A and B are shown apart, each in its own frame.
Chain A
Amino acid sequence: MRLKLSTGPWAAVLGGSVLIGPLLLQIGSEPGPALAAPADARDAGLRAFDQVALVLRHPRCLNCHTTTNFPGQGDDRHPHVNLVRRGLDDRGVPGMRCATCHQSEENLASGVPGRPNWRLAPLSMGWEGLSDSELCRAFKDQRRNGGRSPEALAEHLRSDALVSYGWNPGGSRTPVPVPREEVARLMDVWVHAGAPCPR
């Protein structure tokens, strides 16, 4: 590249000034960041999403981000005991609501986990069985994700009170595998890259 630039039309136009040589060398050997950023950023964004997907697919998230009519439970994602059902509003059925057992914080006497607004994610936000590409597209599709922009998704993962359960589930439950601050950083990388999805 350097050789081509310094011997091609550019060199002729610039008239062989001794001052031009280092300039051409610089252009030829190290393309400016503005030229290279989109492709690099996209790759970084895709790599970041790979890590975020580990969180999205973790049982702490997937047990309620499910496509089934009932929540999962445990790391083996068995159906929630006692025939718990999703219900029409994703908060259980009459007589057996999520809030019958789950309150706004973990109950230290019973060990039952809790966070504000405890509920299943709507069916449109179910992620089971999706490929990386499908998961990414479902995640950022505002018709399916509650109207959240990529920035709002980042905020959801960074600060939502119910989502916080994944990192501090209490008892012997396995937390999600990537620290929350790291997920926030990865989401920022993904968002700044234009929220790219794998093909």
Chain B
Amino acid sequence: MHELKVNGKVQEIDADPGTPLLWVIREQLGLTGTKFGCGIARCGACTVHVDGEPVRSCSFTVAAASGKEITTIEGLSPDRSHPLQQAWIAEQVPQCGYCQSGMLMTAAALLKARPAPTDEEIDFAMTNLCRCGTYARVRKAIKRASGTTAT
């Protein structure tokens, strides 16, 4: 049995120690905002925060998550009021939307460490893949959320 704190709520999880955290989040807790993309920690669609740091949950075992604080897209804000969520809506960032929860969680980790990131810092942090090619709008929304954009 693994004890995880997910979005502020303690959860007892019965799963094999090697089970990816992603499956626990989606299948056992029903939090389906976090997506499965590549399964090899490459695309970033499954990004969540573990103790405040971004982690690709397809490549993170439930055993490693035990005792840690997990934040998923559902826990980023209770009412979609996080500055990034607001900026995402304002800039119409998503196209198909599949990668966007991972994008948002990475961007949230970036802004926590760098409240006013440069273009370069955004490019090196936002390694998430988007098949719709929303990268330019992602960057614009991050700048809007950080208050560093003039447009």
Interface residues of A (CB under 8 A from B): 81-85, 93-97, 99-101, 103-104, 107-112
Contacts and interface: CB of A to CB of B under 8 A. Distances in A.
Residue of A84, A99, A108, A109 contacting most chain B CB atoms (<10 Å): A109
Interface in B54-96: 54-56, 58-61, 64
Contact of A84 (B39, B55, B121, B127): B127
B127 A82 contact: yes
B101 to A, nearest CB: 15
B145 interface: no
A96 B59 contact: no
Interface stretch (B2-10, B26-34, B104-112): B104-112
Given A83-B127, A94-B121, A96-B125, 6 more contacts: A94-B114, A94-B117, A96-B127, A100-B47, A103-B59, A107-B41
Contacts of A108: 18
B42 interface: yes
Interface of B: 18, 20, 39-42, 47, 53-56, 58-61, 64, 106-107, 109-110, 112-114, 117, 121, 123-127, 129
Contact of A109 (B20, B109, B125): B20
Contacts of B42: 81-82
A101 to B, nearest CB: 4
Nearest to A101: B41
A100 B54 contact: yes
A100 B61 CA distance: 13
A110 B54 contact: no
Contacts of A100: 41, 47, 53-56
B18 A95 contact: no
Contact of A104 (B64, B125, B126, B129): B64
A95 B110 contact: yes
A137 to B, nearest CB: 33
Contacts of B61: 103, 107, 109
Contacts of B18: 108-109
B113 A95 contact: yes
Contact of A95 (B40, B58, B60, B109): B109
B121 A110 contact: no
B88 to A, nearest CB: 16
Contact of B54 (A96, A103, A107, A109): A96
